[in-house]
Amino acid sequence: MFVLVNLKTYPCDPVAVAEAVRDVDDTTDARLAVAPAASHIERVAETGVETWAQHVDPIDHGSNTGHALAEHVADAGAAGTLVNHSEQRLKLADIDGAVRAADRADLETIVCANNPAQIGAAAALGPDAVAVEPPELIGTGTPVSQADPDVVENAVAAAADVDPDVSVLCGAGISTGDDVVAAGDLGAGGVLLASGVAKADDPKAALEDLVAPL
């Protein structure tokens, strides 16, 4: 299972969380990574943890003030990037462009989508993975695998129909090891989570609980 911790812009210490993710990663067969804010990527990557960006733009080098260039993200130490998170939505053409930009910089990609129909469209763009995240469940502590397990199963089927090589993750409300196990039982290859770790009083303990059943 792939567990990606998105730090968003929460008021946490990104290096401390990264060190927790790194240390727990050494104790489990699961693959753990962290996605800090863009300005923290280099500091987080220096801890040795697998580091992801939260976003890249569909641009090349040039006159693009305020944008996130895939090559800059990679140079800072990121191994991959999220695309089209529900808090950073893109049009379909721009999702395609962002995936192409990430490919150009040798970044792995996870394209986020709200529902199985969108998952099928996202998978057709050729990312490494897609993630189904119903936005109404984000930050609620109620996982999609519990609130509506059909969403996960149908997303897995939709991606497989388009490209069996594209893995499916699920997110929104993931906070416990049971949530991660349930996602796997429904066919997901990993999970996205944020507040359950980033806002925890003890991020390392929260992560240890998450991976203990795996």
Which token pair is 86?
Answer: 């529900």
- 199: annotated binding-site residue? no
φ/ψ (deg, to 5) at 5: -95, 115
CA 197 to chain centroid: 13
* Domain boundary assignment for the chain: 2-211
pLDDT at 26: 95
**Which of 40, 50, 55, 85 is labelled catalytic?**
85
- 7: annotated binding-site residue? yes
Task: Give per-residue pLDDT as tens, 105-161.
Answer: 999 999 999 999 999 999 999 999 999 987 676 666 677 677 778 888 999 999 999
pLDDT at 140: 63
Residue among 39, 105, 101, 45 at smallest CA distance from 71: 105
Q: Picking from 1-5, 32-36, 193-197, which range would have the lowest pLDDT averaged per residue?
A: 193-197
- 39: annotated binding-site residue? no
**Which of 19, 40, 55, 133 is labelled catalytic?**
133
- 173: annotated binding-site residue? yes
Residue among 204, 199, 201 at smallest CA distance from 6: 199
85 is catalytic: yes
Q: Cβ neighbours of residue 206 under 8 Å, at least 6 residues apart? A: 196, 197, 200
72 is catalytic: no
pLDDT at 151: 87
Q: Please tell me what DSSP assigns to residue 39.
A: G
- 8: annotated binding-site residue? yes
The CATH classification of domain 2-211, taken from the options 3.90.1150.10, 3.40.630.30, 3.90.170.10, 3.20.20.70: 3.20.20.70
Task: Give per-residue pLDDT as tens, 59-118.
Answer: 999 999 999 999 999 999 999 999 999 999 999 999 999 999 999 999 999 999 999 999
Q: Please tell me what DSSP assigns to residue 2.
A: E
